[in-house]
Amino acid sequence: MNDISWSRRSFLIANYLFLGGLAVLCIMPMVHVLAISFSSSTAAEGNMVKLLPVDFTLNAYRFALTKPEFLNSFTITAQRMLLGVSMNLLMTILIAYPLAKESHAFKWRNFYVWAFVLTMLFGGGLIPTYMIVNMTGLIDSIWALVLPGAVPVFNVVLLLNFFRTLPKELEEAAYIDGASHLRTLWHVYLPLSKPALATITLFISVGHWNEWFHGILYMNSPAHYPLSSYLQNMVVMPNSDLLSSTDYEAIAKINQRTLKAAQIFLAALPILLLYPFLQKYFVKGIVLGSVKE
């Protein structure tokens, strides 16, 4: 520690302060939402809640957690995550491996890469896609949320870039050993790509967790909505220009800031916990060990 220079030390201090400050800046909105969820409705409507709850109460959580729809949609999201994330991961890995080859080693790779990349740029839009999903009989089934988006092209491209940074000697060694492609992928590529795989798993999971539009579009009844769609149904403010309405009970429900805040937080919590969990795979030094072998 003694050999750290003065400039290095002052840099480190500044760095800690700067990053710490950023973290505080970023945590504020979530703290605000959390504070609202624990506040009384009147305090929330009067915009009196800042970063600490006002008139602390657990009512919003009690209400949110006893709503059968809320719990039901949790189950559906769990199913979707199980199917969707594993499907996405499988596709990403299977496609990224061949496309990570140089074009002299796999002549078709350029064709395939562009075939996939183009889907990121061009699309037919809502109506034709719905028609195909309908024709293939997926409407109102969990597969409608999994199959059409089974190939996450951005992640494929990302992973193939990570694969390409792996030392070539490894693959050659495996090839000389007579290993098949699948064996090479499984025993050489994947163990060395843990940080990349963790990143991609995170992207895919968050994607499925947050995606709400397909849930509403492809499901025929709110009882089949995943959590994100259910929340969208609840949280987005209905237009307030309901001037001619007279159902004041329903109108009063439009706001319910505290309930919405509680639901936003409850819904975000599981996915927020995923990142710290995956961080343990962001470790350096794996490649080093393998090459020295």
Which of positions 16-35 make contact with another protein (CB under 8 A)? Answer: 16, 18-20, 22-27, 29-30, 32-33
Restricting to residues 127-186, which ones interact with another protein according to CB under 8 A? Answer: 127-134, 136, 140, 147-151, 154, 156-158, 160-162, 164-165, 167, 180-182
Rounded to whole angstroms, the Cα distance separating 140 from 220 reads 6
Site string for another protein, 64-103 (x = CB under 8 A): --x------------------------x--xx-xxx-x-x
Residues 3, 104, 122, 168: which binds another protein (CB under 8 A)?
A: 122
Between residues 249 and 293, which has the closer beta carbon with respect to another protein?
A: 249
Rounded to whole angstroms, the Cα distance separating 224 from 215 reads 8
Residue 187 binds another protein (CB under 8 A)? no
Q: Under the phi-then-psi rule, with left for phi > 0, alpha for psi from -120 to 50, and beta for the rest, what region is 49?
A: beta
Residues 13, 52, 58, 108: which binds another protein (CB under 8 A)?
A: 108
Name the one residue in this structure whose structure tokens are 């350096």.
284
Angle between helices 257-278 and 227-235 (to 10 degrees): 150
Residues 173, 186, 202, 207: which binds another protein (CB under 8 A)?
A: 202
CB of 289 to another protein, least distance (A): 10
CB of 82 to another protein, least distance (A): 18
CB of 78 to another protein, least distance (A): 18
Residue 123 binds another protein (CB under 8 A)? yes
CB of 100 to another protein, least distance (A): 10
Rounded to whole angstroms, the Cα distance separating 143 from 163 reads 30
Question: Running DSSP on this structure, what letter comes out for residue 3?
Answer: T
Q: Under the phi-then-psi rule, with left for phi > 0, alpha for psi from -120 to 50, and beta for the rest, what region is 204?
A: alpha
- Taking the CA atoms of the chain, what radius of gyration do you get in angstroms? 25
Site string for another protein, 214-253 (x = CB under 8 A): --xx--xxxx---------xxxxxxxxxxxxxxxxxxxxx
Total chain residues near another protein (CB under 8 A): 129
Transcribe 140-151 into DSSP letters: TSGGGGTSTT--
* Overall residue count recorded for the chain in this entry: 293
Rounded to whole angstroms, the Cα distance separating 56 from 151 reads 46
